[in-house]
Structure 1
Amino acid sequence: MNDRPSLRERKKAKTRAAIRKATYRLAAEHGWDATTTDRIVAAAEVSPSTVVRYFPVREDILLTDENDELLEARLRARPAGEEPLESLRAVLLEAVRTSLDEEPDETLLRARLMVEIPAVRARLGETTAETGRRLARALADRTGRSPDDLEVRVFTAAVLGALREATVHWAEHGRTDDLVALLDRTIDILKGGPALPAHP
């Protein structure tokens, strides 16, 4: 069986990458408000219809990529007896670690824009929901439940929401701390909540 992407799929991925690269460069140089679709079209050397076809909402260029399918596959590949929270910890933290290693400037810029631009922050919630639906399907299969099961939906949404909030906290506080360590700590918080103060 040949798992190699077809020529058409490779061309689509290359086009998406070109649009994303041009957008990040423009946003870094001119700010998000000045990073118009017309400028993106010119910088990426594609047509306006191509940009809209791949990214119906401009903010999606910053927030969506091909990682959701990979995340789902990696979650399905985790050991069968592993606790769901630990499975999500492993795949999500590895994705963030890879992003920081391979695209450090883009990751930092995306975090800054999440804080500074309300439209980016609002759209993040919608794209996170789509990621959650994919991961919920994988968790449902691993636990013998339905993807629409209340516990599966609430659990997945809670984990992703917590990691999103931790990322915003990181961005608001200068983006200098170790983000992966902060997200790891966030997973621990989900296990037991904030520690109570010690009584004298």
Structure 2
Amino acid sequence: MTSLRDRRRIETRQAIQAHAIRLFLDRGYDATTVTEVAEAAGVSAMTVYRHFATKEDLVLYDDYDQVTAATVAARPETESLHQRIGLALVEMAATAIAAEKAMLLARLSLMISVPALRAHHLDSQYATQSAIVTALCGPSPDPAEEFRVRATAGACLGATHVALVRWAESDGHADLPELMRQALGFAFAT
């Protein structure tokens, strides 16, 4: 159960991020300062930095890494490794669209158009990849198994990233889970 303090912290973080996204879309990412985001959200710049370590995190931060890793780990072990990871990513995308399609689309649009965000996104993907590896291999994995899982997770994340970009370019009109399944099929065709 989430405490009142934790709920308020989550609400504050979400409000700051929503104001940041709106300002970045309206004024441009580079033209908008963290101080302007803080003013729009009704908080101090220090509060913004308490929730988001960098300006890039205002766009790219989410709580999905551990949920994604748990979703991967919960998939049937009878599935191939790429199916477990890929289908979990498809499932997570469907859930994200149902909960916050407009925000996801806005974040992706910014990520595609802003070079600094594209670069920072690689760090984000690495964190997701590492969470998946830990979920499937544990904290002290066999090096060969860790390499196999990390390579497969990286390939799945790369394929689904291509689908996310295609979905954003369609302004969210395409079927994202289907695009992801197609991209995974292309990547793992035998």
Same fold (TM over 0.5): yes
Superposition TM-score, scaled by structure 2 size: 0.87
Residue aligned with 2:107, SS: helix
Is residue 116 from structure 1 mapped to residue 108 from structure 2 by the alignment?
no
| Cα pair 2:111 2:118 within 8 Å, conserved | yes
Q: Distance in 1 between matches of 2:40 and 2:124?
A: 25
Q: CA deviation at 1:168?
A: 2.5
Match of 2:122 in 1: 125
Is residue 7 from structure 1 mapped to residue 4 from structure 2 by the alignment?
yes
Higher helix share: 2
**Higher mean C-alpha displacement, 146-155 vs 36-45:** 146-155
User: Within 5 Å, which residues of 2 pair with 1:114-193?
Assistant: 114-141=111-138, 145=142, 149-172=146-169, 175-192=172-189
Cα pair distance change 1:24/1:147, threshold 3 Å: farther
Aligned-residue sequence identity (percent) comes to 33
Residue aligned with 2:78, SS: coil
Unaligned ranges ≥5, structure 2? none
Larger RCO, structure (CA 8 Å, separation 6 or more): 2
Q: CA deviation at 1:17?
A: 0.9
Name the Cα RMSD after superposition: 2.2
**Count of equivalent residues:** 188
| Cα pair 1:163 1:183 within 8 Å, conserved | yes
Q: In terms of Rg, which structure is larger?
A: 1
User: Within 5 Å, which residues of 2 pair with 1:86-101?
Assistant: 86-101=83-98
User: Within 5 Å, which residues of 2 pair with 1:1-150?
Assistant: 4-141=1-138, 145=142, 149-150=146-147
Unaligned ranges ≥5, structure 1? 194-200
Superposition TM-score, scaled by structure 1 size: 0.83
| Cα pair 1:136 1:147 within 8 Å, conserved | no
| Cα pair 1:27 1:35 within 8 Å, conserved | yes
Q: Deviations along 1:73-110, whole A, 9 cap, x unmatched?
A: 22222223222222222321122112222222222222
Q: Distance in 2 between matches of 1:59 and 1:188?
A: 31
Q: CA deviation at 1:167?
A: 2.1
Q: CA deviation at 1:147?
A: 9.2
Q: Distance in 1 between matches of 2:36 and 2:173?
A: 31
Q: CA deviation at 1:11?
A: 2.3
